[in-house]
Structure 1
Amino acid sequence: MLDTTHIQEQLFERFGRDHFTIQITADGIPTLWVGRDEIIEVLRYLRAESTPAYRMLYDLTAIDERARHNRPGQPDSDFTVVYHLLSLKPVAEVRLKVALLEDDLHLPTATTVWPNANWYEREVWDMFGIVFDGHPNLRRIIMPPTWQGHPLRKDHSARATEFEPLHLDPKRQDIEEDALQFKPEDWGMERASEDNEFMFLNMGPNHPSVHGVFRIVLQLDGEEIVGAVPDIGYHHRGAEKMAERQSWHTYIPYTDRVDYLGGVMNELPYVMNIESVMGIEVPERVKCVRVMLSEFFRITSHLMFFGTYVQDIGAMSPIFWMFSDRQKAYDVIEAITGFRMHPAFFRIGGLSMDLPKGWDRLVGEFLDWFPDRLTEYKKAMARNAVLVERSKHIGAYSQDEALDWGITGPGLRATGYDFDLRRDRPYSGYENYDFEVPLGKNGDCMDRLDVRIEEMFQSCRIIRQCMENMPEGPYKSDHHLTTPPVKERTMHDIETLIAHFLTVSWGPVIPAMESCTMVEATKGLNSYYSISDKNTMSYRTRIRTPSFAHLQQIPLISQGGLVADLVAIIGSIDFVMADVDR
């Protein structure tokens, strides 16, 4: 990480030291409080003029501060809006905060600086009730239009049992259905041009080509797409709210189910974030196992993408072959972790158990079999004339557009942008592995497919290095806050037995802190931003997922195309709705 004082000094020189309040955070990311009147100007400066330039609005979220006790050195605030900016070359982050009082929850929109601020600001208004003046269409995005209240406020109930039973009588049903009616004028769309009338088509939320409960309203001139409005929120599962009522330890299984195809990849940033705060150094064996399993899940996720993408184009057989191959990978995962899709295998300070006997034989058999299989898939399917015709130069975007919309992972690398967090800011020992970063050229559907195919080959390469160089040693850290603690200490005396019980049932008490850790997940950059108020559970957990950012680009890359092209575009993005709605 770059010297944290460097960007601070630039901001002080440009705007004056009096305009900022510095906050020390556990993750070491430069964190500065800014007044609402200066925030847009500061954001513009960091985007284009600072060194480095923080080209991407990585995340934008908020915190309800009203029940928080430990805020040393921070300005008075009832609600805080947090801007997380990212530079990719070099890798650097900066966090800006704006303090707001409950009777004046207004600040200017950042959509004039970054287009992807649109959905983030809608989410903050939806979840917290904070108004962004000048926003082009500030309306609910996750919750239904008729919802009362703002769910991530501390005074909003967290459990279904705290609400009145739902009675969907005919009158209530009519109200809900009317609220979902699409009115083009609300989105700045015209119903007709000088020559003809436009048709508005609902695609989803229950259509096989939209990959889940996802709705896109299309404005059509014949078969040509004139405009598109993605509509999310049908899969909302409240993962961030649930983090506020689970212990640090018992929340781990919930992380698997965010990107439910990513498995342990979701657990990794969460546990690494807590470990960094508590100063837990995990053994080398743990790091290696975590990398190996993460790459296994990269393969299973990409196989799902490959099979469904080819199916969207029109081929039926390949998805059955790839599902069969995924099961072989899951056989290895299950033999090691005990579960298939959602292992909850990583723990604070280590793993739930050590590698079983014979694990290396199973891994080796998979590696000896799978790459040849993938090579055949690439020849037979990815180079099929129909697939190439339906994919090449379809849904293309430039590197600048990708950065504007917060696109990361294979979607960014498909444009030729050479960035992979595993290589450029290694974590969990990735610096010890030899692998290449596949790149595309045009940023179209074809490149997004090819990049993921090549990434599966590279994952096999990393897994083989893990298998051949697996370190000896313990599978959890010898640290008093490791959860669960070292078993051998349990029966030493009554005090250690009690400590063991409390650590497992309540989990560790995390000191008051703020920290964020990101990883190169299956679909792009994924991170957990955790806030502790010196308790056994999180005060606020923010999950930044790649899928949420990626769906915003659909209107941009679908305009002028055909409905059939949109089917290919949606498939090429590779998203999971639980990763979008959280």
Structure 2
Amino acid sequence: MLDTVDIQRQLTERFGENTLIPQITADGTPTFWVGRDRVLDVLKYLRQDSAPAYRMLYDLTAIDERPRQFRNGQPASDFTVVYHLLSLSPVAEIRIKVALSESDLHTPSATGIWPNANWYEREVWDMFGVTFDGHPNLRRILMPPTWKGHPLRKDHAARATEFEPLHLDPKRQDIEEDALQFKPEDWGMQRESEDNEFMFLNMGPNHPSVHGVFRIALQLDGEEIVGAVPDIGYHHRGAEKMAERQSWHTYIPYTDRIDYLGGVMNELPYVMNVEKVLGIEVPERVKVARVMLSEFFRITSHLMFFGTYVQDIGAMSPIFWMFSDRQKAYDVIEAITGFRMHPAFFRIGGLSMDLPKGWDRLVKEFLDWFPPRLAEYKKAMARNSMLVERSKHIGAYSQDEAIDWGITGPGLRATGFDFDLRRDRPYSGYENFEFEVPTGANGDCLDRLDVRIEEMFQSCRIIEQCMKNMPEGPYKANHPLATPPTKERTMHDIETLIAHFLTVSWGPVVPAMESSTMIEATKGLNSYYSISDKNTMSYRTRIRTPSFAHLQQIPLISQGGLVADLVAIIGSIDFVMADVDR
């Protein structure tokens, strides 16, 4: 991780000592408070001129600080805007914070520095009510246009029972339907040009090709796409709000349902983040088992992508074959964890239980079965002349465009950018495994497909190494704050029994802190940014998901293409709407 002193020295030399207020965080990420009058200057410098250059706006969120008690000497703030920047080479992170008072919730927009700031700022306005001056179209993005209030404020209701019963009378229904009408002028679109009239087409939110409840309003000149407006929020369930009323332990099952095809991959950054703060070092057996199961879910997720993408292009049979292979993988996952898609198997400090007897035999049977079939799929389908024609040079973007829009994972590697967090900043013991990082060249639909196919082969390599080198030892850390705790002494005395009961039901009391942990998930970089106020539950949990960033650049790569091309583009992005809306 980058030395905080070094980047602080650079910023101080450029902007002066009075510009920055450093903050110590549990994860060691350099964190600085900057006044809103200088924040854009600091962000521009960090993006272009600092060493390293933080070229990617990785995340942008906010915190309602008003009822928070333990702020560890931080500047006075009612609401805080947090910019999370990322350098990919070398891998380095930095946070910039801006303090705002409740009576003046304004700060300048960063859309002139990073195009992907658009959606992030809209989300912060939607959830917290912070106005970004200069934003091109600051409006709700996750909540309905008619929603009252800002849901991630601490004074906003958290449960349905706290609201008045819903009455959808004809008048209100008309109001809601009118609010959902797409008005091109609101998005800077013209209804006609000098020589023709444009057609506007709603693609979704209920259409198989949009892969979930997702809408794109298209501006068409015949079959050609002139403009596009992605519309999300139909799947929003308030996962970040839920974290504020669940214990650190009981929130784990909620994480499974973010990227609901990623399974334990969602749990990993969350539990690793809490373990980092609590100082829990998990046993080697836990690390290897986590890697093995994460790679199983990478395979099942990529198989879903492969099958549905080929189906979007026009072939029907492959998706049934790939679903059969996914079931083979889920059989192994279920035998080990007890569940298939949402196992909630990882725990703070380890696993929910040890690997069962015979797990290695099941893994070996899958490894004998799957790679030959994947090789056949690649030959028969990924090189099908129609699929290649529909995919090559379609939906292409460059490396610089990918970084500007916050694209990570296979979507970034498809441009030829050789970056994989598992190798470049290893976690959970990934440094002990041999695997290659597949890359593309053109950043188009075909490259995004090929990269994911090759990643499945590499996942099989990693799983085989896990199977052959699984360490002996405990499946849980012997730490007083591991959850659930060990049970050996629970029947020895009443104090130990009570402590066990409280740790299971309430979870550990996490010290006042801020920390985030990032992993290479199935679709790109995923992280949990957690804030504790010295309690048994989170004060603020921010979930940074890759799918949210990836959908935002659809207008860029679809303009000038055909509607049929957009179907291929959407499929090649490989997103999950729960991963977008949370």
**TM-score interval (norm. to shorter):** over 0.9
Structure 1 vs Structure 2: percent identity of aligned residues?
88
In structure 2, C-alpha distance between the alignment counterparts of 1:515 and 1:2, rounded to whole Å: 16
In structure 2, C-alpha distance between the alignment counterparts of 1:161 and 1:320, rounded to whole Å: 42
User: What secondary structure, in the 3-state scheme, does the structure 1 residue paired with 2:446 have?
Assistant: helix
User: What secondary structure, in the 3-state scheme, does the structure 2 residue paired with 1:260 have?
Assistant: coil
Which residue number corresponds to residue 415 of structure 1?
Answer: 415
Shift of 1:14: 0.2
Shift of 1:489: 2.2
In structure 1, C-alpha distance between the alignment counterparts of 2:92 and 2:4, rounded to whole Å: 9
Shift of 1:492: 1.9
Are 1:162 and 2:162 matched, yes or no?
A: yes
In structure 1, C-alpha distance between the alignment counterparts of 2:447 and 2:545, rounded to whole Å: 22
In structure 2, C-alpha distance between the alignment counterparts of 1:234 and 1:209, rounded to whole Å: 16
**In the TM superposition, what whole-angstrom CA distance separates every residue of 1:436-457 from its partner, at most 9, and x where no partner exists?**
0000000000000000000000
User: What secondary structure, in the 3-state scheme, does the structure 2 residue paired with 1:22 have?
Assistant: strand
AA aligned to 2:527 is S
**In the TM superposition, what whole-angstrom CA distance separates every residue of 1:298-327 from its partner, at most 9, and x where no partner exists?**
000000000000000000000111111100
Shift of 1:487: 1.4
In structure 1, C-alpha distance between the alignment counterparts of 2:491 and 2:279, rounded to whole Å: 26
AA aligned to 1:411 is G
In structure 2, C-alpha distance between the alignment counterparts of 1:492 and 1:540, rounded to whole Å: 37
User: What secondary structure, in the 3-state scheme, does the structure 2 residue paired with 1:225 have?
Assistant: strand
In structure 1, C-alpha distance between the alignment counterparts of 2:237 and 2:434, rounded to whole Å: 38
User: What secondary structure, in the 3-state scheme, does the structure 2 residue paired with 1:488 have?
Assistant: coil
Which residue number corresponds to residue 65 of structure 1?
Answer: 65
Which runs of structure 2 are paired with 1:353-502 in the superposition (5 Å)? 353-502=353-502
Which residue number corresponds to residue 325 of structure 2?
Answer: 325
Which residue number corresponds to residue 337 of structure 2?
Answer: 337
Which residue number corresponds to residue 516 of structure 1?
Answer: 516
**In the TM superposition, what whole-angstrom CA distance separates every residue of 1:466-490 from its partner, at most 9, and x where no partner exists?**
0000000000000000000011121
Provide structure 1 residue ranges, at least 5 long, that are not aligned to the other structure: none
Shift of 1:15: 0.1
Shift of 1:4: 1.7
**In the TM superposition, what whole-angstrom CA distance separates every residue of 1:410-455 from its partner, at most 9, and x where no partner exists?**
0000000000000000000000000000000000000000000000
AA aligned to 1:553 is Q
In structure 2, C-alpha distance between the alignment counterparts of 1:171 and 1:540, rounded to whole Å: 37
Which runs of structure 2 are paired with 1:226-265 in the superposition (5 Å)? 226-265=226-265
In structure 2, C-alpha distance between the alignment counterparts of 1:373 and 1:489, rounded to whole Å: 49
In structure 1, C-alpha distance between the alignment counterparts of 2:492 and 2:86, rounded to whole Å: 48
In structure 2, C-alpha distance between the alignment counterparts of 1:492 and 1:460, rounded to whole Å: 45
RMSD (Å) for aligned C-alpha atoms: 0.4
In structure 1, C-alpha distance between the alignment counterparts of 2:54 and 2:160, rounded to whole Å: 41
Which residue number corresponds to residue 577 of structure 2?
Answer: 577
AA aligned to 1:409 is G
User: What secondary structure, in the 3-state scheme, does the structure 1 residue paired with 2:29 have?
Assistant: coil
In structure 2, C-alpha distance between the alignment counterparts of 1:100 and 1:262, rounded to whole Å: 36
In structure 2, C-alpha distance between the alignment counterparts of 1:490 and 1:470, rounded to whole Å: 29
In structure 2, C-alpha distance between the alignment counterparts of 1:488 and 1:380, rounded to whole Å: 55
Are 1:137 and 2:143 matched, yes or no?
A: no
In structure 1, C-alpha distance between the alignment counterparts of 2:19 and 2:405, rounded to whole Å: 29
AA aligned to 2:397 is Y
Which residue number corresponds to residue 315 of structure 2?
Answer: 315
Shift of 1:294: 0.1
In structure 2, C-alpha distance between the alignment counterparts of 1:205 and 1:75, rounded to whole Å: 43
AA aligned to 2:422 is R
In structure 1, C-alpha distance between the alignment counterparts of 2:170 and 2:381, rounded to whole Å: 49
In structure 1, C-alpha distance between the alignment counterparts of 2:71 and 2:581, rounded to whole Å: 29
**In the TM superposition, what whole-angstrom CA distance separates every residue of 1:214-252 from its partner, at most 9, and x where no partner exists?**
000000000000000000000001100000000000000
In structure 2, C-alpha distance between the alignment counterparts of 1:539 and 1:310, rounded to whole Å: 43
AA aligned to 1:286 is V
Shift of 1:5: 1.2
Are 1:45 and 2:52 matched, yes or no?
A: no
User: What secondary structure, in the 3-state scheme, does the structure 2 residue paired with 1:402 have?
Assistant: helix
AA aligned to 1:327 is Q
AA aligned to 1:3 is D
In structure 2, C-alpha distance between the alignment counterparts of 1:459 and 1:412, rounded to whole Å: 18
Which residue number corresponds to residue 208 of structure 2?
Answer: 208
Following TM superposition, the consecutive aligned residue runs of length 4 or more in structure 1 with deviations greater than 4 angstroms are none
Which residue number corresponds to residue 25 of structure 2?
Answer: 25
**In the TM superposition, what whole-angstrom CA distance separates every residue of 1:508-557 from its partner, at most 9, and x where no partner exists?**
00000000000000000000000000000000000000000000010000
In structure 2, C-alpha distance between the alignment counterparts of 1:98 and 1:266, rounded to whole Å: 29
Which residue number corresponds to residue 178 of structure 1?
Answer: 178
In structure 2, C-alpha distance between the alignment counterparts of 1:182 and 1:469, rounded to whole Å: 57
Which residue number corresponds to residue 306 of structure 1?
Answer: 306
AA aligned to 1:207 is H
In structure 2, C-alpha distance between the alignment counterparts of 1:123 and 1:75, rounded to whole Å: 24
Provide structure 2 residue ranges, at least 5 long, that are not aligned to the other structure: none
AA aligned to 2:228 is A
User: What secondary structure, in the 3-state scheme, does the structure 1 residue paired with 2:244 have?
Assistant: coil
Which runs of structure 2 are paired with 1:2-151 in the superposition (5 Å)? 2-151=2-151
**In the TM superposition, what whole-angstrom CA distance separates every residue of 1:242-286 from its partner, at most 9, and x where no partner exists?**
000000000000000000000000000000000000000000000
**In the TM superposition, what whole-angstrom CA distance separates every residue of 1:35-85 from its partner, at most 9, and x where no partner exists?**
000000000000000000000000000000001000121000000000000
Shift of 1:13: 0.4
Which residue number corresponds to residue 535 of structure 1?
Answer: 535
Question: When the two structures are aligned, how many residues end up with a matched partner?
Answer: 582
In structure 2, C-alpha distance between the alignment counterparts of 1:246 and 1:67, rounded to whole Å: 18
In structure 2, C-alpha distance between the alignment counterparts of 1:375 and 1:434, rounded to whole Å: 20
In structure 2, C-alpha distance between the alignment counterparts of 1:309 and 1:205, rounded to whole Å: 18
AA aligned to 2:465 is Q
AA aligned to 1:335 is A
In structure 1, C-alpha distance between the alignment counterparts of 2:458 and 2:542, rounded to whole Å: 30
AA aligned to 1:289 is A
AA aligned to 1:352 is S
**In the TM superposition, what whole-angstrom CA distance separates every residue of 1:353-400 from its partner, at most 9, and x where no partner exists?**
000000000000000110000000001100000000000000000000
Once structures 1 and 2 are overlaid, which stretch shifts more, 236-245 or 163-172?
A: 163-172
In structure 2, C-alpha distance between the alignment counterparts of 1:312 and 1:534, rounded to whole Å: 49
User: What secondary structure, in the 3-state scheme, does the structure 1 residue paired with 2:9 have?
Assistant: helix
